[in-house]
């Protein structure tokens, strides 16, 4: 009974980062290739085991009654099964792979201007929306919103080491290489939140360099764009104002930017609309009050070697005030 329950749970469970569950045209091609390869390898495996069983059953008598190994015979099997068949199968898969690659619609001849520029950092994603005039540009982090059903061009660069942009349900991996500008063109066919992950080992916290792509209907997307272009909301209560003052006069503002305030630091994630994001710390923690406080005071336990230090100089009340200020940055 337990086994059946477990199996049905597994069957129902969704796999948020499965290439075999495509939500965009690029991953559809990858999934097609994947299923082709799995099918061929399953057939080959079954055939191999069939032959092994057949040989085991066919064997009769003891070894000394058989002809010596070097007496010849069986070379035909080796030539066909060991050389011709594998060469044919691997060539077929190679050509199918090349076809899939060339079908990725990276450009229509000319390189389009990107809508979004993503910069990889150890270990978070800086995201800049760069379409239209400079007055429309804005910056965010770790969460990318796109409209459903439309191709979106993203420029990929790195600030330090090689990272890899990977949202398995939307596209294959494209690396972010220092000194090089790469591009990826993604499209989500259905609204949803697509989980991504840095796909190239980039240091101690590579596994905690996660990414979210939120695909929304055009109206919702436009609404999101408009709200993100606004400067940060001002504190409304006395307690939030206290948090604001602490944020601006203590180390926070040296590294982080909050648009419309004196905080102009460029080396850490932009916090202008922090409260509107789903998660914290490159999508490792849910975005709630407790996690935000824990992140401020214990970033080095949650993500050792990240550039965010443990900020332990605040009293409990000061920490609560800063958190209250950050929590209203919708
Ligand atoms: Cu960035 Cu792995």
State residue 58's pLDDT score: 81
Tell me the β-bridge partners of 98. Answer: none
Q: Is 206 in the pocket of ligand 1 (CB under 6 A)?
A: yes
> What is the spatial distance between Cα 23 and Cα 168, in angstroms, rounded to a whole number?
9
- What Cα–Cα distance (Å) separates residue 132 from each residue in 113, 325, 326? 10, 31, 29
Ligand 1: centre distance to CA 62 (Å): 58
Tell me the angle at which helices 25-58 and 85-102 cross, rounded to the nearest 10 degrees: 170
Prediction pTM value = 0.85
Phi-psi domain of 89 (left: phi exceeds 0; alpha: psi -120 through 50; beta: other): alpha
State residue 11's pLDDT score: 47
* 225 prior amide bond cis, ω within 30: no
Q: Is 184 in the pocket of ligand 1 (CB under 6 A)?
A: no
- What Cα–Cα distance (Å) separates residue 327 from each residue in 283, 299, 313? 16, 18, 20
Tell me the angle at which helices 316-327 and 289-302 cross, rounded to the nearest 10 degrees: 110
Q: Is 199 in contact with 19 (CB distance < 8 Å)?
A: no
The distance of Cα 36 from the centroid of its chain, to the nearest Å, equals 24
Task: Indicate the helix (H) or strand (E) that contains 42.
Answer: helix 25-58
Q: Is 207 in the pocket of ligand 1 (CB under 6 A)?
A: no
Q: Is 100 in the pocket of ligand 1 (CB under 6 A)?
A: no
Task: Indicate the helix (H) or strand (E) that contains 308.
Answer: none
Ligand 1: centre distance to CA 223 (Å): 31
Q: Is 202 in the pocket of ligand 1 (CB under 6 A)?
A: yes
Q: Is 196 in the pocket of ligand 1 (CB under 6 A)?
A: no
Ligand 1: centre distance to CA 207 (Å): 7
Tell me the β-bridge partners of 116. Answer: 129, 154
State residue 66's pLDDT score: 67
What's the half-sphere exposure (Cβ side, CA atoms, 13 Å) at 314? 24
State residue 43's pLDDT score: 95
Ligand 1: centre distance to CA 103 (Å): 27
Ligand 1: centre distance to CA 202 (Å): 4
Dihedral angle of Cα 95, 100, 103, 107, to the nearest 10 degrees: -110
Closest ligand 1 atom number to CA of residue 203: 2
CA gyration radius for the chain? 27
Each residue's pLDDT, cut to its tens digit, for the chain (330 residues) gives 466 566 555 544 567 888 888 898 888 888 999 999 999 999 999 999 998 999 888 876 676 666 666 666 778 888 998 899 999 999 999 999 888 877 666 666 677 789 999 999 999 999 999 998 899 999 999 999 999 999 999 999 999 999 999 999 999 999 999 999 999 999 999 999 999 999 999 999 999 999 999 999 999 999 999 999 999 999 999 999 999 999 999 889 999 999 999 999 889 999 999 999 999 999 999 999 999 999 999 999 999 999 999 999 999 999 999 999 999 999
CA neighbor of 219 nearest in space, from 145, 130, 147: 147
Q: Is 213 in contact with 193 (CB distance < 8 Å)?
A: yes
DSSP annotation of 296 reads: H
Closest ligand 1 atom number to CA of residue 209: 1
Closest ligand 1 atom number to CA of residue 161: 1
Please tell me whether residue 270 adopts helix, strand or coil conformation: coil
Q: Is 280 in the pocket of ligand 1 (CB under 6 A)?
A: no
Q: Is 114 in the pocket of ligand 1 (CB under 6 A)?
A: no
**Closest CA to ligand 1's atom 1:** 163
Ligand 1: centre distance to CA 244 (Å): 32
Neighbour count for residue 113 (Cβ, 10 Å): 10
CA neighbor of 155 nearest in space, from 133, 136, 177: 177
**Phi and psi at residue 18, to the nearest 5°:** -100, 125
Q: Is 118 in the pocket of ligand 1 (CB under 6 A)?
A: no
Ligand 1: centre distance to CA 94 (Å): 28
């Amino acid at each position: 009974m337990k086994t059946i329950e477990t199996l049905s749970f597994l069957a129902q469970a969704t796999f948020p980062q499965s290439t075999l569950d495509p939500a965009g045209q690029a991953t559809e091609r990858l999934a097609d290739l994947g299923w082709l390869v799995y099918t061929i390898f399953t057939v080959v495996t079954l055939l191999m085991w069939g032959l092994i069983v057949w040989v085991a059953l066919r064997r009769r008598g003891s070894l000394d009654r058989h002809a010596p190994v070097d007496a010849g015979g069986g070379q035909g099997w080796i030539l066909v099964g060991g050389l011709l068949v594998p060469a044919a199968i691997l060539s077929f898969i190679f050509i199918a792979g090349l076809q899939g690659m060339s079908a990725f619609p990276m450009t229509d001849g000319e390189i389009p201007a990107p809508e979004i520029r993503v910069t990889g950092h150890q270990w978070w994603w800086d995201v800049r929306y760069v379409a239209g005039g400079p007055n429309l540009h804005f910056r965010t982090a770790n969460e990318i919103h796109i409209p459903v059903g439309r191709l979106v061009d993203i420029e990929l660069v790195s600030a330090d080491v090689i990272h890899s942009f990977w949202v398995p349900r939307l596209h294959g991996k494209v690396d972010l290489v220092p000194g090089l500008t790469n591009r990826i063109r993604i499209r989500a066919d259905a609204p949803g939140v697509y989980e991504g992950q840095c796909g190239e080992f980039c240091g101690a916290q590579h596994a905690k360099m996660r990414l979210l792509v939120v695909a929304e209907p055009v109206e919702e997307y436009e609404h999101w764009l408009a709200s993100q272009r606004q400067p940060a909301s001002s504190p409304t209560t006395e307690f939030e104002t206290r948090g604001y003052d602490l944020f601006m006069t203590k180390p926070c503002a040296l590294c982080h930017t909050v648009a419309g305030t004196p905080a102009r630091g460029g080396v850490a994630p932009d916090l202008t609309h922090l409260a509107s994001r789903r998660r914290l710390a490159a999508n490792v923690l849910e975005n709630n009050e407790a996690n935000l406080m824990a992140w401020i005071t214990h970033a080095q336990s949650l993500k050792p070697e990240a550039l965010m230090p443990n900020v332990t100089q605040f009293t409990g009340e000061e920490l609560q005030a800063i958190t209250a200020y950050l929590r209203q940055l919708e």
